[in-house]
Amino acid sequence: MTTSASDVTVESVVRNAAAGHRGQRGALLPVLHAVQAELGHVPQEAIAVLADEFNLSRADVHGVVTFYHDFRRESAGRTTVRICRAEACQALGADGLVAYAREAGLALGETTADGAVTVEQVFCLGNCALGPAAEVNGRLYGRVDPARLGSLLDGTVSS
């Protein structure tokens, strides 16, 4: 283990998050969410600290972090767009949105080289009567057609 400045920061973030959830049963997931909220992802350096905090093996913690789609191993772009690809949105052209993003150079699961945008797929945002649905930086949008997706990607749609 190196002890660079960033490691110290990661360690303090993880230990603070763990301290904030002390006394809760089975708190690893809430702590992982807290770490990601703070750092934008769950860095590799966090694994050993978490293992220490929870008295688990590093393999156990690694197993949990990698099991859940939500936990990122590296930070997303400044804008995260999640396109719903589940059945209800498929019925209204979700695949067309994915194709539109791909033509704009945005492949699912990848972040643009300038770190501006990450486009991901998601299976159901619970907006099945107003599809196709997409989520931009945590905000839900309904009836998203390619033109609207385009403006969301450009950041031209206000809040």
Q: Which residues bind another protein (CB under 8 A)?
A: 24-30, 32-33, 54, 63-64, 67-71, 86-92, 122-131, 133, 135, 138, 140-143, 159
* Cβ distance to another protein smaller for residue 91 or 107: 91
Q: How far apart are CA 8 and CA 98, in angstroms?
A: 40
Q: Which residue has tokens 């969410």?
A: 33
> Measured over all CA atoms, what is the biggest interatomic distance in the chain, rounded to whole angstroms?
52
* Cβ distance to another protein smaller for residue 2 or 158: 158
* Cβ distance to another protein smaller for residue 102 or 143: 143
CB of 31 to another protein, least distance (A): 8
* Cβ distance to another protein smaller for residue 40 or 105: 40
CB of 2 to another protein, least distance (A): 27
Give Cα separations from 99 to 104, 145, 147 (angstroms): 9, 12, 13
CB of 5 to another protein, least distance (A): 29
CB of 61 to another protein, least distance (A): 10
Q: Which residue has tokens 């194709």?
A: 99
Q: Are strands 79-84 and 117-122 parallel, antiparallel or unpaired?
A: parallel
7: burial class by Cβ within 10 Å (0-12, 13-18, 19+)? Answer: middle
